[in-house]
Amino acid sequence: MTQIAPPISLEALSFAYSELPVLEAIDLEVHNGEFLGIVGPNAGGKSTLLKLIMGMLQPQQGTIRLFGAPPHKTRNRIGYVPQYPSFSRDFPITVEQLVLLGRLGCRGNSSWLTSLLPGRYQMADYHAAQQALQEVEAEPLAQRQISSLSGGQLQRVLLARALAGEPELLILDEPTANIDQRLEGEIFELLRELNQRLTILVVSHDIAFISSYVTRVACVNRTLVCHHTDAIDGSLIQDLYGEPVRMVAHHH
Amino acid sequence: MNEFLTALSEYTFLQSALVAALLASIGCGIAGSYVVVKRITFIAGGIAHSVLGGMGAALYYGVDPLGGALFAAILAALLIGWIRLQWNTQEDTLIGALWAVGMAIGILFISKTPGYQTDLMSFLFGNILLVSEKSLWFMGGLDALLLLAVVAYHRQFLAVSFDEEYARLRGVPVTFFYLLLLVLVAVTVVLLIQVVGLILVLALLTLPAAIAEHYVHSLGRMMLLATGVGAILSTTGVALSYSPDLPPGPTIILLAGAAYLLSAVTARALIKRKREKAQSSSEAP
């Protein structure tokens, strides 16, 4: 049963912060192996949608299924890369220790009993962390303290933390917002490779740029509309943002 | 100092004081490091001061005040943890209120307890020279609890102190481990009250760890170094206070404050020198 369940399935989902509706009647099914881009204006509900999918917020209406189960039961199968790290950059922790934290909750199902397992990391945990760092080409940074990393390096390390948990679904929130353009391309090339074995969901404000990488785009602005990437043109973007947008042709 | 060493070999109360100082420094190394990296000094302060409520009540009802302190500290830790998780927006006001209310309860109880007024000073400012053998065993037991909890759950504690959001995503029961961490802080506060009293606890809890943070880059090493720094500061404080007959608690705290200032200045100079060195080597061909 769990094998055929799609990674993400949302039905008639609505969410409001107190009185203010943020998302209304969202239907979305993300299939195995897909590379879905979520775009939309600021405050359009993109981050809220991610929080709902990961079970950090509860919807007022509708259902959320993550691998066919409620999010809090299966969210250890997600690897998540946040837009703004929710930690302090001067915390005394090395890159390797940070990536190892992505290994918590890997053993068995995320029941309360396994979450209380005492003890230390196993050899398998160190291997997975090392492999994840290799995959994002950040292995030489392993013993560095996180305060000494550049923005681009930290982004790779956070991706490694997400990969260390051996996820089936990778969720990235604006992965390239804090790094320069050259690195942006590198990160997306890396995601293209990872997409061969993982389902990927990436939130971005840069629709023109991500459309050359993703297989499908979901436009979120209170409601959600899906488009295949070849259908994206100027009038669609204009509808979405509500004002004329100048498109810049990209050729890679 | 020589006078202190001869006295040390003669008087068991001085030997007990040194053992108490060493036992307390284990607590300030472990729990102090979490308090410093998670930036919860204010929460720790709230726990430390509301302990007076429990000590006062224990005195009034004729129960062991250390037991009352432990009970009050754990209760305050759970209450403050719950406040922080439920009322995020008014957190600091509520903790400040609990801080003062706890102390007020304690002072009312103590004022109604006949004949115990003199003990108030030793609760507030500690008296390491009066530590009984029973208290030493009690302190040793608390240290064992602390060590056990940290050996068993250091990964979860690191996850919760470093990044609560991601820890929750990985299925770590964040609320449980956050409250457990505050209970460890509460236990440590009771350990340290023996040495410096509850008014001065906060400094001994945070300063050794803050000094250690200047020099190491992992939480485990920080705990080891902070334990060492705490041990040196508290034993030196006891030794220095002996000849001039000063109270040991405030002597230890002044010493810790001076050591912290010195360390902050040195660490800053070291970083500056490192940066200049890196710059000059990158400029060289």
Q: Which domains does chain B have, with CATH numbers?
A: 2-283 (1.10.3470.10)
Q: Are B126 and B252 in contact (CB under 8 A)?
A: no
Say how far apart CA A32 and CA A74 lie, in whole Å: 15
Best of B35, B40, B155 to mutate (most A CBs within 10 Å, chain A): B155
Chain A contact for B260, CB < 8 A?
no
pLDDT band at B143 (very low <50, low <70, confident <90, very high): very high
Ramachandran category for residue A166: left, alpha or beta (phi over 0 → left; psi -120 to 50 → alpha): left
Average pLDDT in the A100-109 region? Answer: 80
Average pLDDT in the B53-73 region? Answer: 89
At a CB cut-off of 8 Å and minimum separation 6, what does B191 contact? B23, B24, B27, B139, B142, B143
Q: Residue A213: inside a domain, yes or no?
A: yes
Average pLDDT, chain A: 84
Average pLDDT in the A224-231 region? Answer: 72
CB contact under 8 A, B170 and A93: no
Chain A contact for B87, CB < 8 A?
no
Greater model confidence, A143 or B283: A143
Sign of CA pseudo-dihedral B238, B244, B249, B250: negative
DSSP secondary structure of A10-44? EEEEEEEETTEEEEEEEEEEEPTT-EEEEE--TTS
Closest CB to B172: pick one of A56, A91, A105.
A105
Return the structure tokens found at B131: 């530590």
Measured between beta carbons, the chain A residues lying within 8 angstroms of B169 are 54, 56, 75-76, 78, 80
Q: Residue A96: inside a domain, yes or no?
A: yes
Closest CB to B217: pick one of A92, A114, A120.
A92
Q: Kindly report the length of chain A.
A: 252
pLDDT score of B73 more than 90: yes
pLDDT score of A252 more than 50: no
CB contact under 8 A, A115 and B169: no
Q: Residue A12: inside a domain, yes or no?
A: yes
Chain A contact for B165, CB < 8 A?
yes
A245-249, B86-90, B111-115: lowest mean pLDDT where?
A245-249
Say how far apart CA A81 and CA A179 lie, in whole Å: 14
Closest CB to A104: pick one of B37, B159, B222.
B159
Residue A227 domain boundaries: 8-45+54-241
Closest CB to B162: pick one of A87, A114, A120.
A87
Closest CB to B217: pick one of A76, A85, A94.
A94
Return the structure tokens found at A130: 């090392």
Say how far apart CA A140 and CA B37 lie, in whole Å: 26
Measured between beta carbons, the chain B residues lying within 8 angstroms of A165 are 170
CB contact under 8 A, A87 and B163: yes
A103-107, A190-194, B35-39: lowest mean pLDDT where?
A103-107
pLDDT score of A201 more than 90: yes
Greater model confidence, B115 or B64: B64
Sheet of A8-17, strand order: A20-30, A8-17, A61-66
pLDDT band at A116 (very low <50, low <70, confident <90, very high): confident
ipTM of predicted complex: 0.85
SS3 B52: helix
Average pLDDT, chain B: 89
Sign of CA pseudo-dihedral B86, B107, B18, B253: positive
Give the per-residue pLDDT at B262.
96
Chain A interface residues (partner B, CB cutoff 8 A): 54, 56, 75-76, 78, 80, 82, 85-88, 91-94, 97-98, 100-102, 104-105, 110, 112, 114-116, 118-121, 145, 161, 165
Partners of A61 in beta bridges: A14
Containing H/E element for A226?
Answer: strand A223-228
Sign of CA pseudo-dihedral A3, A8, A14, A20: positive
Give the per-residue pLDDT at B21.
92
What is the number of structural domains in chain A? 1
CATH no. for residue A70?
3.40.50.300
Chain A contact for B169, CB < 8 A?
yes
pLDDT tens digits along A19-65? 888 898 889 999 999 999 998 888 888 888 999 999 988 898 999 99
Measured between beta carbons, the chain A residues lying within 8 angstroms of B170 are 76, 101-102, 104-105, 165
pLDDT score of B155 more than 90: yes
Give the per-residue pLDDT at B38.
93
Q: Residue A194: inside a domain, yes or no?
A: yes
Q: Residue A36: inside a domain, yes or no?
A: yes
Give the per-residue pLDDT at A105.
83
Single-letter residue type at A192:
R
Q: Residue A248: inside a domain, yes or no?
A: no
Greater model confidence, B275 or B50: B50
Q: In whole angstroms, what separates CA A214 from the centre of its chain? A: 13
Q: Residue A197: inside a domain, yes or no?
A: yes
Give the per-residue pLDDT at B281.
66
Question: Which residue in A has a C-alpha nearest to residue B213's C-alpha?
Answer: A92
Give the per-residue pLDDT at B285.
47
At a CB cut-off of 8 Å and minimum separation 6, what does B26 contact? B143, B146, B147, B227
Question: Which residue in B has a C-alpha nearest to residue A105's C-alpha?
Answer: B170
pLDDT score of A102 more than 90: yes
Say how far apart CA B218 and CA B199 lie, in whole Å: 30
At a CB cut-off of 8 Å and minimum separation 6, what does A4 contact? none
Give the per-residue pLDDT at A1.
44
CB contact under 8 A, B39 and A88: yes
Phi, psi angles (nearest 5°) of residue A29 = -130, 120
Give the per-residue pLDDT at A177.
75
Greater model confidence, B122 or A93: A93
Q: Residue A207: inside a domain, yes or no?
A: yes
